[in-house]
Structure 1
Amino acid sequence: MKKVFLGLFIVLFLAGSVWIGYYFYKKSNADPVVYKTEKPFYTNIVKKTVATGSIVPRKEIQIKPQVSGIVEELYVEAGQTVRAGQTIAKIRIVPNMVSVNNAETGVQTARIAFEQAKRELARQKMLYDQKVIAEQEYNKFVLDYKLRREDLTSAENNRQLVKSGTSRRTGGSNIIISTVDGMVLDVPVKVGASVIERNNFNEGTTIAAVADMKSLIFEGKIDESEVGKLREGMDLNLTIGAIEDKVFKAKLEYIAPKGVLEEGAVKFQVKAQVMLQPGDFLRAGYSANADIVLDQKQNVLAIKEGLLQFGKKGKDSVFVEVETGPQQFKKKLVKTGLSDGINIQVVDGLQANDKVKVVEAASPDEEKKAS
């Protein structure tokens, strides 16, 4: 039994010796690590932030009816340009029977009073012509006749309004007109649809949405970490997903004084006037991104930000490794400036002809050794 264990031990020992010898042989013949280098370069560095939002009209008007009823005619459609006062739709009034009955009663009452005043005026005129009554007494009956006539006309107009929404004196309240010049963005109702008038208790049914598409603004939101760097009047570059290869200019004109919590971050609303050029046409609701330039440097010495290395003291020990000989490097402290996330300005510590070591990502084993 002892011979079996002894033989097994000898075999394992020989196998381990062979593996260790092979490992050191391969390690001694491994290719040496060759580090790449990059030179500093002169470039323009722009630090900017991006606000996401959409293009909306500055003024969008909801056209609503003054009477309830059924849409009888529609004279416009989305995309059509209208003028202020132009007819948009016609509403057919569905009369309320109680209101109609009251209006009919009012007409009959006014007509009876008018007929009575008319007969009385005729009798008094005969007396006046015969010099039986004075002119002042006669004028009282003339005035009463005219008042009764106006009452009858008013009652008839009221009856016509209740039944059809129109009157001879005031025109048609069932005719819907545009209140502004602009383009019809939407007509949410169809012929035959029921609509409700606007009043103190109901905002009413929207017949059409009209907006001036020549005056557009960008509405977006920006993170609280960047809002303190903004100021009104800053220039924005708008990129619209639906329009490729074109950048629209805009000017910041509003920054919300109060932020809103969205998805765990506080964001502030911003608005910017879109500077349209002749021939430009944007549709309302286009999604857009606004590039806002916070700071920029022209023609400064810079390196790739990934070439920087940091010591244990953080920003106080920012350095790079500069080549002093073939694959020989020396640590050199640098002072950095503006960064755009890819390139970073080098204020001090490097020359344009220096070769900076490209730091490869360390493996987990190497990180443990370094620590």
Structure 2
Amino acid sequence: MKKFFKIVLWVVIAIVFIGTFVFLFLNSKPKVTTYALVSPTDTSIERTTVLTGKIEPRDEIDIKPQISGIISEINVEPGDMVHAGDVIARIKVIPEASSLSSAQSRVENAKIALEDATAKYERNKTLFDKKIISREEFETSETSWKQAAREVDAANDAYMIVRDGVSKYNASESNTMVRATIDGLILDVPVKVGSSVIQANTFNDGTTVATIADMNNLIFKGKVDETEVGLLAMGMPMTIAVGALPELSPKAVIEYIAPKGVEENGANTFEIKAALDIDSVSGLRAGYSANATVILSRLDKVLTVPEGVVEFAGDSTFVYVLTDSTSGQQFERRPIMTGSSDGINIEVKEGIDSLVKVRGDAIKD
């Protein structure tokens, strides 16, 4: 029995020894790496840049009152379409005490002058009828009487303007009515009934009653880095991507490139404006965030390889070309001249042709 256990023990030892030897032998053999092979192809290379920005109306008009007072009526709300001349709001005038007092004093003085002119006119009329005074003297008194009557009327109208902001002669054109100055869409009404408003003057811009814009005339306003602004030009087309409306792809054309950059976060950027195609603005709203893709350059049917197979060494570029595949893959490091790149494929100007095979990524077992 002891002999049997000895034999089993020696067999186990032998198996372990042989297995260890085989394992070490297999691991000592050099591993052969197999690479994917890539063929150069004729494709198109586009170099693009992406600008971030917003969709904005070309003309956004702030409607301001022509007189100070209190908003008594608002006839529109954001989203309404209006035409030039439409009444947006009405203002109740709060007269200044000194101006109101002066207007009242003018009315009283005009009435006194009218009473005096009336008395003279009636007296001179009686004398004229009796042929005591000349026609010239009578007509002079008549003219003074008419002028005094007109001054009373004018003084009363001026008093109404100071008190109510309305003239009886042009009530429909009163400054108390705030009107739209263009056809467009109401974007914002920042005031409410009861809000105080002031007219624009030398010292302030006045209160904005409403903001109007023509939503059929939109632009893309974005910014481009200084490293790429030199590649842009007026008239270059761009495709807009609106995050809120992924199904839309409006077209636009660059119409403005800022001549001066602005430093932001340590980098200089330049403002870009592009006019949107009028047929592609349906559904867009002012303030939508958007990205614009601009094609900076395009090459059609040029020899290219994936940029990942190119080795960059200083100012030189290389690829590994397959020279033998019969006894394992054999490669030759070959210099090439590259051109434009789109970040995925790169143009090959010299060094290889479409008949060679280039080493790609290693194939995992």
Q: Same fold (TM over 0.5)?
A: yes
Between the aligned partners of 2:257 and 2:60, the Cα distance in structure 1 is 21
Q: How far is 1:133 from its partner?
A: 2.7
Determine the structure 2 residue equivalent to 1:333. Answer: 335
Q: How far is 1:359 from its partner?
A: 5.2
Between the aligned partners of 2:144 and 2:193, the Cα distance in structure 1 is 47
| Runs (5+) with no aligned partner, structure 1 | 1-20, 361-371
Is the counterpart of residue 206 in structure 1 residue 208 in structure 2?
yes
Q: How far is 1:234 from its partner?
A: 1.0
Between the aligned partners of 1:24 and 1:121, the Cα distance in structure 2 is 139
Determine the structure 2 residue equivalent to 1:62. Answer: 62
Of 158-167 and 266-275, deviating more is 158-167
1:98-247 to 2 correspondence within 5 Å? Answer: 98-171=98-171, 172-247=174-249
Question: Do the aligned partners of 2:87 and 2:179 also contact (CA within 8 Å) in 1?
Answer: yes
Determine the structure 1 residue equivalent to 2:283. Answer: 281
**Superimposed CA distance per residue, residues 85-109 of structure 1 (whole angstroms, 9 cap, x where no aligned partner):** 1010111222333332222122111
Question: Do the aligned partners of 1:249 and 1:276 also contact (CA within 8 Å) in 2?
Answer: no
CA RMSD between the two structures: 2.2
Q: How far is 1:63 from its partner?
A: 0.6
Q: Identify the match of residue 350 of structure 2 among 329, 337, 348.
A: 348
Q: Which amino acid aligns with 1:267?
A: T
Q: Which amino acid aligns with 1:329?
A: F
Q: Normalised by the size of structure 1, how large is the TM-score?
A: 0.86
Of 31-40 and 104-113, deviating more is 31-40
Q: Which amino acid aligns with 1:231?
A: A
Between the aligned partners of 2:119 and 2:204, the Cα distance in structure 1 is 48
Between the aligned partners of 2:272 and 2:41, the Cα distance in structure 1 is 36
Q: Which amino acid aligns with 1:304?
A: P
SS of the equivalent of 1:277 reads helix
1:118 to 1:25, Cα distance in 2 relative to 1, 3 A: farther
Between the aligned partners of 2:238 and 2:112, the Cα distance in structure 1 is 73
Between the aligned partners of 2:90 and 2:121, the Cα distance in structure 1 is 43
Question: Do the aligned partners of 1:88 and 1:178 also contact (CA within 8 Å) in 2?
Answer: yes
SS of the equivalent of 1:250 reads strand
| Runs (5+) with no aligned partner, structure 2 | 1-20
Q: Which amino acid aligns with 1:79?
A: G
1:279 to 1:296, Cα distance in 2 relative to 1, 3 A: closer
Q: Which amino acid aligns with 1:203?
A: D
1:38 to 1:194, Cα distance in 2 relative to 1, 3 A: same
SS of the equivalent of 2:48 reads strand
SS of the equivalent of 2:296 reads strand
Question: Do the aligned partners of 2:250 and 2:281 also contact (CA within 8 Å) in 1?
Answer: no
SS of the equivalent of 2:84 reads coil
Q: How far is 1:290 from its partner?
A: 1.3
SS of the equivalent of 1:35 reads strand
SS of the equivalent of 1:244 reads coil
1:355 to 1:130, Cα distance in 2 relative to 1, 3 A: same
**Superimposed CA distance per residue, residues 312-357 of structure 1 (whole angstroms, 9 cap, x where no aligned partner):** xx22x31100111121100112111111111111122222232111
Q: Which amino acid aligns with 2:92?
A: R
Between the aligned partners of 1:183 and 1:101, the Cα distance in structure 2 is 42
Q: How far is 1:32 from its partner?
A: 2.0
Question: Do the aligned partners of 2:303 and 2:347 also contact (CA within 8 Å) in 1?
Answer: yes
SS of the equivalent of 1:36 reads strand
Between the aligned partners of 1:276 and 1:62, the Cα distance in structure 2 is 23
Question: Do the aligned partners of 2:72 and 2:91 also contact (CA within 8 Å) in 1?
Answer: yes
Between the aligned partners of 2:204 and 2:129, the Cα distance in structure 1 is 59
Q: How far is 1:24 from its partner?
A: 6.7
Question: Do the aligned partners of 1:57 and 1:211 also contact (CA within 8 Å) in 2?
Answer: yes
SS of the equivalent of 1:167 reads coil
Q: Normalised by the size of structure 2, how large is the TM-score?
A: 0.87
Q: Which runs of 4+ in 1 moved over 4 A?
A: 21-27
Between the aligned partners of 1:256 and 1:41, the Cα distance in structure 2 is 40
Between the aligned partners of 2:210 and 2:23, the Cα distance in structure 1 is 82
Between the aligned partners of 2:214 and 2:281, the Cα distance in structure 1 is 15
Q: Which amino acid aligns with 2:292?
A: A
**Superimposed CA distance per residue, residues 265-307 of structure 1 (whole angstroms, 9 cap, x where no aligned partner):** 1111111110021772311111111111111011222111111
Determine the structure 2 residue equivalent to 1:324. Answer: 323
Between the aligned partners of 1:160 and 1:22, the Cα distance in structure 2 is 115
1:279 to 1:357, Cα distance in 2 relative to 1, 3 A: closer
Q: How far is 1:210 from its partner?
A: 0.7
**Superimposed CA distance per residue, residues 22-69 of structure 1 (whole angstroms, 9 cap, x where no aligned partner):** 997564146322222222222211111122111111111111112222
Determine the structure 2 residue equivalent to 1:51. Answer: 51
